[in-house]
Structure 1
Amino acid sequence: MTTFTVLADMVENVAGDRVEVSSITRAGAEIHTYEPAPEDLVRGEGADLIMANGLGLEAWFTQFTDNIDAPTATLSDGVETIPISSGGYRGEPNPHAWMSPDNAQVYVDNIAEELGELDPANTEYYAAEAQQYKQRIARIGADLEAELSGLPDSRRALVTCEGAFSYLARDAGLTERYLWAVNAETQATPKQIASVVEFVRANDVPTVFCETTVNDGSQRQVAAESGAELGRSLYVDSLSKAGGPVPTYLDLLRYDTEAISEGLTREEDA
């Protein structure tokens, strides 16, 4: 089992048909504040291994595993983290490390190692599948960076609801600004909104964004007060269902980059 759908898809690409993989949270769930249901615990009792992101992403994870007799693994181990720069989580590592294709290479290596320990008879199979998957991630990572690298300096600012894009922004050379560092159940404070509005105006940011798993009301207010547009909702903590726009991790990276590039070049194309 994995804690959320993005990790489940990554594990499935390495495990192939040798391991049954499922996600604790469903598509569209907000991962930070998730509360495991009794049926989640029932499913977890049959797990041979539970894989989590770590870095404080799953605040509920210990609560879940305390009731389950299964080993756990942290897939972000070995990633070079970026500290959160503001708010109550200031100084703590940003947990959204999978949003960088470079970091994803570390995730995949960890997945292959954990699966090999779980199922030694198929260690070579997992290593080979992991290598192929890493190559696909590397190719899309190069494509994404090339697309975003074409943005002019005046459009190299990414404004989102949650500070979930620090790693992608670093890879693409974008300045990141957000309403809150980690998703919360409430809307942004007036002070947070005013600060982001000031940043958007000062930098002539054409488009601001919000994630699919949170209410975009605060970002709509930012757009209205600053004159920016609200772009397409971005995917971070969850894949879509099979028929949706981002049924896989690689689709998520493609979709977000296209949405960001489209939004940040909007006025140029007008």
Structure 2
Amino acid sequence: MFRTLRFATYASLITLGGFASTASAAELKVVASFSIIADFARNVGGDRVDISTLVPADGDAHVYEPRPADVAALEQASVVLVNGLQFEGFMSRLIETSGAKAPVVEVSKGIEPLKSAEEEHHHHEGEEKVEAGHDHDHDAEEKAETGHDHGHEGHDHHGEFDPHAWQSIHNAQIYVKNIADAFCVADAAGCATYTANSEAYVAKLGELETEMKAVIATIPEGKRTIITSHDAFGYFERDYGLKFIAPEGVSTEAEASAADVAKLVDQVKEDKASAIFVENITNPRLVEQIASETGLTVGGTLYSDALSGPDGPASTYLDMFRSNVETIKSAILGS
């Protein structure tokens, strides 16, 4: 029930400048919607913040069902950090249920969003139908009357834009700056600390990007097509020159159909994909099926929408990005 409500309906969303400085350093309680944002917040806040994470490490925000503990965390929060771009479908109802008064800050604000691959697909599909002379207005009427979209069964939509913006390190730097701004407003006494911490971390992110681009440059151009479970790496593809194809859309909530899988197998053979990977948040069964049908060997695990646990290879954002790039390189080059 929670996940059916869209993030865009937040009644309590407040911009960064819209709340008063009321919390002292010891009292700044922060709720982050999922583990990657929580890691950014820890790097910015340091010892001045107490961070609770709703969707845990290795958890899938697409299908997350809130718990009573989440309600309690929101009730006590000074700041709530969310990705935005309709990523956290469960948040609107959770905030309403908790009666939380804390400001909700979209940390993706200011990034250049990509169109959702699903939206692009349906846009072109619609153009083809118009050109072919088909009129499906009756489908729209039926959807309006029944609440069901029979033309797109099995496909979940986040919205117009791809929400997985953190897969670009440049975007991650914007996230961090937005978090620092939010903390400065909530705890003015700690602003110098938050600013210094964020600047130091943004510099680390810049160093990471330089390092990762050098690693990716070692992968031959003709071997840069890979397969993942769902379409979470669009920003990575845009910024770093790899091509990702996936059987599922930007959400894991809708399973790929047999026709989707068959089409992907054909695409893999045509594009000569070099590697295939499971994701830490998804069931590996579908990827294993595709690997079997294409002759590819599963090259390891990529971390898309969540960090690993503390003992895993991706327990921080810096480790996550490095692990993903090294895993891709190793699977393609065998080293």
Please say whether Structure 1 and Structure 2 have the same fold, judged by a TM-score greater than 0.5. yes
**C-alpha distance in 2, partners of 1:206/1:112?**
40
1:152 aligns with 2:152: no
Give the aligned residue type for 1:137: L
How many residues are aligned here?
A: 267
Pairs within 5 Å for 1:167-178? 167-178=235-246
1:49 aligns with 2:75: no
Question: 1:11 maps to what in 2?
Answer: 41
> Helix, strand or coil: the match of 1:232?
strand
> Helix, strand or coil: the match of 2:51?
coil
Question: 1:247 maps to what in 2?
Answer: 315
Runs ≥4 residues deviating over 6 A: none
Is contact 2:230-2:246 (8 Å) kept?
Answer: yes
Is contact 2:116-2:159 (8 Å) kept?
Answer: yes
For residues 12-70 of structure 1, what are the alpha-carbon distances to aligned partners after superposition, in whole Å with 9 as ceiling and x for unaligned?
00101011112112212111121111121012211111000011110011011112221
Question: 1:58 maps to what in 2?
Answer: 88
Question: 1:228 maps to what in 2?
Answer: 296
Is contact 1:83-1:94 (8 Å) kept?
Answer: yes
For residues 154-191 of structure 1, what are the alpha-carbon distances to aligned partners after superposition, in whole Å with 9 as ceiling and x for unaligned?
11113111111111111111122111112334542111
Residue range with higher mean Cα deviation, 89-98 or 232-241: 89-98
Q: CA deviation at 1:247?
A: 1.1
| Unmatched runs of 5 consecutive residues or more in structure 2 | 1-30, 122-154
Give the aligned residue type for 2:110: G
Give the aligned residue type for 2:223: R
Is contact 1:210-1:216 (8 Å) kept?
Answer: yes
Counterpart among 85, 89, 96 of residue 117 in structure 2: 85
Question: 1:114 maps to what in 2?
Answer: 182
**C-alpha distance in 2, partners of 1:186/1:229?**
25
Is contact 1:145-1:171 (8 Å) kept?
Answer: no
**C-alpha distance in 1, partners of 2:331/2:222?**
13
**C-alpha distance in 1, partners of 2:158/2:34?**
24
Residue range with higher mean Cα deviation, 193-202 or 3-12: 193-202
**C-alpha distance in 2, partners of 1:39/1:79?**
31
Q: CA RMSD in A?
A: 1.6
> Helix, strand or coil: the match of 2:69?
helix
Give the aligned residue type for 2:222: S
Question: 2:196 maps to what in 1?
Answer: 128
Is contact 1:83-1:90 (8 Å) kept?
Answer: no
**C-alpha distance in 1, partners of 2:315/2:241?**
27
**C-alpha distance in 1, partners of 2:226/2:36?**
22
**C-alpha distance in 2, partners of 1:186/1:177?**
16
Question: 1:137 maps to what in 2?
Answer: 205
**C-alpha distance in 1, partners of 2:42/2:325?**
23
**C-alpha distance in 2, partners of 1:186/1:97?**
20
TM-score (norm 2): 0.76
Give the aligned residue type for 2:231: G
Give the aligned residue type for 1:230: V
What percentage of residue pairs aligned between the two structures are identical? 33
Higher-helix-fraction structure:
2
Question: 2:32 maps to what in 1?
Answer: 2
Question: 1:71 maps to what in 2?
Answer: 103
> Helix, strand or coil: the match of 2:63?
coil
**C-alpha distance in 1, partners of 2:296/2:333?**
12
- Alpha-carbon spacing, 1:110–1:40, altered in 2? closer, same or farther (3 Å): same
TM-score (norm 1): 0.94
Q: Which has the larger radius of gyration?
A: 2
Give the aligned residue type for 1:28: D
